Amino acid sequence: MIGVDWIVDLLATAREELRERIQPQLAPEDRYVAAMIGRAMQIAGRELALGAAMRERERQALAGLFDDPAGELEALRRQLVRAIREGAFDARRGELEAALAMRVAARLAITDPDYR
């Protein structure tokens, strides 16, 4: 995504300053709050850096499930919910699981990349 690299760098620098210079000076009960703020900044940076590509991968996976290469992500998500409720994937469970696993892995790459 054009134009977000500097924002990602800015968030990383601000987070580092928070963690290295400000957080150690805080009262113990406030350090936890500062750590949560730092974590939110880290997640926001990864979302800016990776989010668009992850959403496009999800869109492509869902478009493949429905043979709709031009489908928009939100519409495909709604279609997926309806199809699951109607049992449309009962015979194609493996394809559905692969698409859902990819979505979960993409979200974890942003929210918690160290998750195992």
Q: Name the amino acid, one letter, at 31.
A: R
User: What are the CA-CA distances from residue 100 to residues 9, 59, 62, 88 (Å)?
Assistant: 31, 12, 9, 15
Q: State residue 2's pLDDT score.
A: 59
Q: Name the amino acid, one letter, at 116.
A: R
Residue 93, pLDDT > 70, answer: yes
Q: State residue 98's pLDDT score.
A: 95
Q: State residue 4's pLDDT score.
A: 86
Band of pLDDT at residue 116, cut at 50, 70 and 90: confident
Q: How far apart are the first and last CA of the chain?
A: 28
Percent of the chain with pLDDT over 70: 98
pLDDT 10s digits, 50-79: 999 999 999 999 999 999 999 999 999 999
pLDDT 10s digits, 73-82: 999 999 999 9
Domain boundaries, the chain: 5-111
User: What are the CA-CA distances from residue 9 to residues 19, 43, 46, 88, 102 (Å)?
Assistant: 15, 13, 11, 44, 27
Closest by CA to 95, choosing from 60, 74, 64, is 64
Both tokens of 10, joined, read 């800015």
Band of pLDDT at residue 3, cut at 50, 70 and 90: confident
Residue range 93-108: mean pLDDT, rounded: 94
